[in-house]
Amino acid sequence: MERDIYEEDHEAFRDLVKDFVKRHVTNEAMEKWDAAGEIDRDTMLAAGEAGLIGLSVPEEFGGAGMLQDYRFRTIVMEEVIAAGAGSLAGAFGIQDDLAVPYLVHMGTQEQKEKWLPRMATGEVLGALAMTDPGAGSDLRGIKTNAKKVDGGYILNGAKTFISSGTTADVVVTFVKTGEGNRPDAFSLLLVEKGMEGFDQGKKLRKMGFHGWDTAELSFTDVFVPEENLISGKEGQGFIQLMLNLPLERLSIGVAAAAAAQAALDWTVAYTKDREAFGERIADFQNTRFRLADMSATTEAMWAYIDRALLAYKDGRLSAEDAAKVKFWATEREWEVLDMGVQLHGGYGYIMEYPIARAFTDARVHRIYGGTNEIMRDLVGRQIVGKR
Residues marked active site are found at 248
139-145-146 Cα angle (round to 5)? 130
Phi, psi angles (nearest 5°) of residue 217: -105, 145
Alpha helices in 37-84 (DSSP H): 41-50, 71-82
Q: Check residue 63 and report its DSSP letter.
A: S
Strands 186-192 and 126-129: unpaired
Does residue 348 contact residue 106 with C-beta atoms inside 8 Å? no
- Residue 25 to residue 87: CA distance in whole angstroms: 11
- Residue 220 to residue 197: CA distance in whole angstroms: 5
Q: What is the largest CA-CA distance in the chain?
A: 78
Which residue from 47, 44, 190, 57 is spatially nearest to 120, judged by alpha carbons? Answer: 57
Count CB-CB contacts under 10 A for residue 371. 15
Query: How far is residue 258 from each of residues 193, 265, 290, 330, 332, measured CA to CA in Å?
Result: 32, 11, 19, 11, 12
Please state the length of the chain.
Answer: 387
- Hey, is 199 helix, strand or coil? strand
Q: H or E stretch including 263? A: helix 237-273
Which residue from 32, 57, 56 is spatially nearest to 42, judged by alpha carbons? Answer: 32
- Residue 95 to residue 247: CA distance in whole angstroms: 13
Does residue 73 contact residue 80 with C-beta atoms inside 8 Å? no
